[in-house]
Structure 1
Amino acid sequence: MLTNSFSFFRFCITILCLVLAGHGASAQELHNSLEQQYKKYKPGSTQRMMITGKYAQALFFNKQEDKAFVILNENIAYAKKVTDGKYAAYLYIIAAINYRLLDQVKAYENASRLAQLYEAKTKDQETKGYVAYGLGWIRARNSKDAEAVRYFLKALSFYEKAPYSESLNTRKASVYRELNSIYADWNEYELQEKYSKLSLEISLQQNDPMNLFDAYMAMGYMYEKRYESTSNKAFVHQAESYYIKAVDTYNANKARMPIPSNLSFVAINLANLYLNYFPASYRDKVLYYANLAKSHGAETGNHDHVASANGLLAEIALQNGDQEAAKRYLLTALAESEYDKVADPNIKLSIFENLSQLFQNENNFKEAIFYQKAYLETFKQIYDQKNTALGKKLEVQYEREKQKQQLLRLQLASEKQEQRLKEMSWQSLQQVQKLENLELLKENQFRKLELTEIENSKKAQELRLSQLESFNRKREIDLYKDRMDYKEKINTFYVGLTASVSLLLILLLYAYFQRAKGIKQKEKLHLLEMEKVKQDSKISNLTVMLEGQEQERGRIARDLHDGLGSLLSGTKMNLFLLKDTSNDQHQPQIERSMEQIDIAVDELRRVAHNLMPDLLLNYGLQETLMEYVSRMTTPELDVDVQFLHYSNQLPLESQLLVYRIVQELVNNAVKHAGAEQIIIQFIENESDYAIIVEDDGKGFDTTLLNNSHSAGFHNIRSRVEFLKGAMHIESQINIGTSIEIKFPK
């Protein structure tokens, strides 16, 4: 009986792997469309940054890796200048994924770290989720499934908090497919079914044939695995149903399917399903789908599919008693597997074993021994790989137990939450009772209002009676008015006189206040002039102080070089002469003393150079900082400097100040932050210069900086004030520090 190992094709549900396998026309059309969109937006715009990720991936999958990284690095430089870190985080994680595909370990680890650094600087939940997804994707490819699951679940939690966007559901589906793949390896069928169904639900909503095909394949593969563990016939029929739906989806949308090899892929799965899990009456279907996979795989150049199809046909031929046909199919499968650039050793293992058995049945022991040796060599390779994977599997089991413990803790928290909800329900009942009491109180107030209206009616009647009495009194009032008219005229005269006097007083007060206001304005102008004089005096004092510091540094450097340097050199010469005349007992001590003098001379030169760099006077700021960075870089510390658009027009005095500022910032990062990487940027803009120094040290609380009496920061601020510039500091604990200084040209 032919050994059945041609069902080994594990269902790959990772979108990225499917894109890499495709060679259809739609992939080129997608590349052209993304290129047009990319060129439509101007450099540095946020729209261009967001399209850069998709465009770079399309270039990468079209074998244009160099161009993809050039575009990524160009837009990352723009994204780093944006306050919101979402754009830099997104582009860095795309770069990390591409570096991982090229197996450039240091590059993708550095890009991942920077993606996390900028992800912490944004509040955009979808970007945070995508960074977590990318980190999980990398760990899944590094066989760290437990860590990958944690990152994927973290990504889903961010996506749930994010507002709806066109890309949100697609990104959720990618996470579901990754979790489905991992849980399939872990035989966690309930979780595998959960994420397969979620992926299918999103695909049905989007009506994208490619995603729908992937979802149907995931469901079919999931039920096939369920049948293998339970032997429940319902599962195998469900697997058949979803595989057939995948075939129907492909046939109905051929023009929109970017991966032609998908048809041969699902055909192999169906042929294998019918061969291993259905009765012999399904033999015609096995032959149909195996031949379909063979012909379509040959058309699309997928040799692994052709090899698998030939293996299935060999199984049928052997069951029919045709050993010659089985041998031809096996040899064809072996030849096809050799064409595959990444051949699966399990295919060859099965082919070698079955060919050895067939030749042994024919008494052709020479060929049987040849294929048996090939089988043993291949088996050894797989055995070594399995031993390596065994340790990882034990680690995964440990992580799964940890997750179960976390689940129990979550259930306990859920019970506590339920208790809180009951308490809230009781409080709600109390509030309802209070509301009913308020309604009763309102009704009582309404009745009081009715009584008030009745009392008002009685008062109206009393008012009418009083009006009659007032009519009788009216005549008396008229007589009284005549007498009062005369008095009123006299009062009017006095009122007019009073108003005239008051108006005159108001005019006088207005004139007084206007004069006082003018005096205050003159005082303010005088104070501004005094402040300007103080500022000029402060700048003059700073100039004298900085010039005095540099002159003193130069004098000390010359004294050290000319005085102490000459003295050390003379001492070394005396020791050298003494060495020739001394006995062998003192030779080691003299040699050790000469080595210590050499170390002292090197240290003296370094100190003198830091006090007054000659490179700055002779070659300018750029060469001086490049030389300084090379001296500071060690195996434990990576220091890098970049000059952007620098025209070398900065005055020498300002160059010296910039050099001192950078020197002080780097010393602070090394001494206080414990940094492992420092990046220095000097940028010349149209109207100003910018200095940016970033490190990955332990960071500090910037609110404490104003209360600090550090001499280093005092010197930095003094030089920035002399340059008439401004300094901005951002720092996060255990993440790093970024200091930006701008000063005008």
Structure 2
Amino acid sequence: MKFTKLTILFLLLLSFGGFAQNKETETLYRQYAAATSSKQKTDLGNRLSWTIRSSDPDSALDLAISALQLAEKENYEYGEAQAHLCINLAHAVKSNYEIGLEHIDKAQAISEKLKNDSLLAACNLNYAGYYYNKSNYSKSIEKSLAAVKIFEKLNDQLGVMRSKLLMAQVYQLKDDLPRAEAVLKEISSVPVNDVKIKVTILHTLANIYGMEEKYEEALALDNEGILLCDKENSPYLKSPLYDNMANCYMYSGKFDLAKKYFHESLLLDSTFSNQKQMADTYLNLGQLSLMQKKYTEAIGNLQHSISLSKLKGYKQGIYQAYLLLTEVYRKNNQSDSAIVALKTAYKYKDSMINASTENKIAELETVYQTEKKESQLKLQQAAITKKNYFIVALVIALALLTSIGFFFYRKRQFTDRMHVQQEVMKQQDISTKAIIEAEENERKRIAAELHDGVGQLMSAAKMNLSVFEHELTFSDENQKKAFENVINLVDESCREIRSVSHQMMPNGLLKSGLASAVKEFIDKIDSRVMKVTLYTEGLGERIEANTETVLYRVIQECVNNVLKHSGANHLDISLIKEADGIVATIEDNGHGFDLADKDNFEGIGLKNIISRITYLKGTLDFDSKPGKGTVIAIHVPG
């Protein structure tokens, strides 16, 4: 049954991550669970993977792989490219850069085939991230600038910010702090809701302040970032903030606090298997041990950092660890080891930063700035041309003024006709409302008379008969049984009157609302005749009384139709209150009917259902085939 399957899938999706999701993520999970087409499921799976990659990379990877399989099956190439990029990002969180690179290459090939600029820009940005993590800074800048150009062309402000943020991180690692700070201030002036961008800006700026020995300012930014991570439930992003705080405490001489926050960072990174970030933390622990003159401990931490950095191809980490190891060996009077470590450090530095790479970065920046100025000149020339065209257009506009007046007159006529039609529809609504209200009032009157009038009389009759039973003397056992049958008949009549009066005026609806009334109604159905299941969500608060009443009557009519005509033995009913209204689904496993046969819609019951939903400005959809059961889907705006 459709409803049950969707519910199970939604619960499975919610169990993907070990962390509570924010409202946006929960909404995406619901949409993903409800998606019916492969294309829609692919797009939502990719979007979910991208959203949760920092908080739950394993689930993000599963979602992206599922999206890729769906896209490949449907030959949906745009979805395939997006899935490959999401797979890369999930692997990047876990420092699996080489595995991720294969997926960027595949996404790039598809993007070039489709000639899709947004995909090409995303591929460039993913390449830039890969090269950043592999300490190839000139290639990272090159790919970032390529991404910026396309994002600017597409007017994608968020894409431009992500690309420039990565460039600022490269400049910071290269100790070009003024340039890094200038880029950060440029992008931080633009309002953005992306928590990863916000936290990364705060972290990178805090790093710069720390390097400039502005420890109080750096710690304030780190604390602001941690509060944001807690608010948005992004634990992965907290690790570099803890690491920077620990550095500030370390260089301020607060070694215990430094060690505490280094271990906090290490714990988070090990949770996500982020070995690159773990390498940085062990490097910093080596520095802390050196400052405390714990040389053996420092060597152990630094060698661990080198092992992790080599495992992930992190040249910057290897260079820094060997450079620090040189100082440890020197302090520990191990001169030969110090010389070997220093030579190794500079070998890795030369592979990352040399005159060639520095010139390449400067050249790329110059080309970008030149192209930007040329673009601005073209915009100025276009403005002048636009002004000339405006003059010509003004002349033409004057010539067309008479024609515009004529069209305005015709439009006025059309508007008047529309107003008349709207008034007719309004009167129809008033008439329908009056009919429904009159019908409901009559139900209430009859229910009250049955309950308070006939019901009370029958109850009194039963009581009197019960009294007579004790006063009468019966001639034989048959006569006594006949009298008891009369009492039972009166008792059954009392129950029937109560049942009819409650159906006409349901107590559950009066007391507790729609969900309670529907439950009370279906509880009266004999499970041996038909098993009925009810699922409700979001109906804790009362909705508008008229809507409750109309929806109850519609559901009541639908259930009665199923009992009378469908031959079903199982019925699922769901009532869900969403942000934009109420969704109701009634699904049976009966023999169904042919939707193309208009005679199936001529019954009074179905006409009543359609008219009531139309009155509520709602929509009503039927899904049925002979032998396949029937699904009725109702949406009423709230």
TM-score scaled to structure 1, two decimals?
Answer: 0.33
Q: Which has the larger radius of gyration?
A: 1
